[in-house]
Amino acid sequence: MASCYRDYCASPSGIHSAAKHQREALEKARDQVRALIGLPANEGRIVFTGNGTEAVNLAVRGFISANRRFGNHVVSSKIEHPSILNLLQDLDRTGVQRCLLSVGGEGFYDVAGLSERVTPETVMICLSLANAELGTIQMLEAIGQFARERSIGFFVDARAAGGRIPIDVSALNADVLALSAAAFGGPVGVGILYIGARTVLDPLCYGGEQEGGLRPGEENVPGIVGAGLAADLASQRLVENGECRRGLQLLLWRHLNASIPQVYLNGPEIGERRLCHQLSVTIKDVEAEGLVLFADMRGLAIATSGGCLSQRLDTHYVLNEAGLSPEAARQTISLGVGLDTSENEIEEAVAILSSGASRLREMSPAWSS
């Protein structure tokens, strides 16, 4: 990335040697992303955007705009990322109707009920490969096949899954698929969109012919180069990293369970159907905001909800849909482990959380040990 800034500070649209270097760097990054999602060379397109949210908007709004003559109905779910739910809400103004699937307590889609939600006007199905808050990994292959057989566009939001689980875009039968480079170790400010060879999108804005005219404006070459390298590293280490994080995740949960009374895991059990890096836990009679502040003062960063909603104090809708009461949702925190997290750090973190939970429970009139 530094070399792109320092040695080849040029627009990739030019015809001189520095521009040629930047174009080659862009194409290399595309190939590295292709490998991450199991995409053979020369099949489909990889388009870079300014972030994951922009990639989602280009995928969904762009597809519906280009294919509106085939229908005006979209199927999604109640636990999607705000960038999807708020977009679908905005599309209501243009006459696009939406149907949102419910989920069970572990966050899995009601696949069996999908056929009842689809109408002759359904133009697109928008679902996530994994849910960042509950950790749920969905099995979308059957849904993709269902959509393909009915000529319905299928968008997969893979931002929470990219670099954490194997992705085979062909097996998913995805027409469009979104990633965020920051989720798999790349720089913030780079979104990625896979577009199938037969898929047509309308651009969100107009300008030059960069990214095939779908994302006009000069590309963020240094950021894209960083995203490509991160994709390459994630591809090479996918199994190793998954096993490492799964062990740390399990250790964290065991320590929490042993140290704090009445702590409950949300989402699937730790295993193949759960993302390997995170835990969502409810600690009875411990307000999450208070625990976050207590931990932060002691050098431990935790969250109360997904990153895009972390500054909101209202109960998170994903937890509500998973069956948690408003009170339980206010007592829920989100924890994550990184590849460089050590067992000692996990023990220190649990000691801080245990101390904070005890302190806050002492101040809670509802707590009874």
- Active site residues per annotation: 308
Cα–Cα nearest to 335, from 326, 345, 325: 345
Where does 27-120 show beta strands of DSSP type E? 45-49, 73-77, 97-101
The amino acid at residue 8 is Y
Question: Which residues, other chains included, contact 349 with Cβ-Cβ below 8 Å and sequence gap of 6+?
Answer: 252, 295, 300, 335
Contact 130, 108 (CB under 8 A): no
Contact 190, 29 (CB under 8 A): no
What is the C-alpha to C-alpha distance for residues 211 and 225, in angstroms, rounded to an integer?
15
What is the C-alpha to C-alpha distance for residues 267 and 280, in angstroms, rounded to an integer?
7
What is the C-alpha to C-alpha distance for residues 133 and 311, in angstroms, rounded to an integer?
15
Give the burial string for 201-227 (b: 16+ CB within 10 Å, else e). Answer: bebeeeeeebbeebbeeebbbbbbbbb
Classify residue 103 by its DSSP letter: B
For helices 343-362 and 238-259, the axis angle rounded to 10 degrees is: 30
Question: Which residues, other chains included, contact 255 with Cβ-Cβ below 8 Å and sequence gap of 6+?
Answer: 346, 347, 350
* Two tokens, residue 280: 């969502």
CA distances in angstroms from 218 to 49, 215, 236, 320, listed in the order given: 11, 9, 30, 42
Residue 367's Cβ-side half-sphere holds a number of Cα atoms within 13 Å equal to 17
